[in-house]
Amino acid sequence: MDAQVKNKVQTIIAELNAIARELDEISQGINREFKGIGAVQCASSLQSAAGKYRAVTHELRKI
């Protein structure tokens, strides 16, 4: 793989990891600040989205 392409992929991986971390932080904040089934579902959805971002980074690392 071309070095420039490899650097682009690494940049994308870093950005995806940052997004996943932010989603995790937001999810944890919702769990701390809000109560009720809606908050639980919202936090769970954010955790699911973060997991999907991590799965994409995992696949990109295989390249």
The residue segments making up the domain with residue 57 are 11-61
**CA end-to-end distance (rounded Å), the chain:** 9
Mean pLDDT (whole number) for 29-42: 94
In a domain, 20, yes or no: yes
pLDDT at 63: 85
Count of structural domains within the chain: 1
In a domain, 3, yes or no: no
pLDDT at 62: 92
- What's the rounded Cα separation, in Å, for the pair 19 and 29? 15
Q: Indicate the average pLDDT of the chain.
A: 96
In a domain, 25, yes or no: yes
Q: Rounded to two decimals, what is the model's pTM?
A: 0.89
Asked if residue 53 lies in contact with residue 16, where contact means CB atoms within 8 angstroms, the answer is yes
Per residue in 42-62, pLDDT tens?
999 999 999 999 999 999 999
In a domain, 4, yes or no: no
Asked if residue 53 lies in contact with residue 24, where contact means CB atoms within 8 angstroms, the answer is no
In a domain, 6, yes or no: no
